[in-house]
Amino acid sequence: MIGGYLSFASADFMTLGNIYDLINNYAMLTILACGLFIVLISGGIDISFPAMTIISQYVMVTLIQGTSGNFALAFALSGGLGLLLGLVNATLVNRLKVPSIIITISTLNIFYGCCST
């Protein structure tokens, strides 16, 4: 609705350059929202995904710098780390039978602590 209104209200909104900028600027948020949407559909809630994203991004940048720009290796390892951190959350929720919001708030703080050291 907002996009429709803005396309009529402003001639600059539906230009190819603006559409490219919108896609480029919101690509990461869209990917994160899709992942969180799957968690919400399954009946859970994940508070720790920002910390997992930061850790994965840090690992990726560090690996790219350390391996002379090997993007494929850095992407695979940082993606694997994100999956591992998500698996930690899932294992704790399933084994301890604690609501997912409590576990993910706890792991959020643990993951942020790992980021700051």
Q: What is the pLDDT along the chain (117 residues), one digit of tens a residue?
A: 887 887 788 888 888 988 899 899 999 899 889 988 988 898 888 899 899 999 999 999 999 998 888 899 999 999 999 999 999 999 999 999 999 999 999 999 999 998 776
Residue 28 has what pLDDT?
A: 87
DSSP 45: -
Same domain, 37 and 59: no
Position 35 scores a pLDDT of 85
Burial (CB count within 10 angstroms: exposed 0-12, middle 13-18, buried 19+), residue 72: exposed
Residues 35 and 48 in one domain: no
Whether pTM > 0.85 for this model: the answer is: no
Tokens 């399954």 belong to which residue? 42
- Statement to judge: residues 63 and 26 lie in one domain: no
Residues 112 and 90 in one domain: yes
Residue 64's domain spans which residues?
44-117
* In a shared domain, residues 63 and 38: no
* 54 plus 105 within the same structural domain: yes
**C-beta of residue 86 within 8 angstroms of C-beta of residue 52:** yes
> How many structural domains is the chain composed of?
2
Alpha-carbon distance 109 to 6, whole Å? 40
* Residue 3 sits in the same domain as residue 27: yes
54 and 14 both lie in a single domain: no
Same domain, 65 and 105: yes
77 and 28 share a domain?
no
The share of the chain scoring above pLDDT 90, in percent, equals: 55
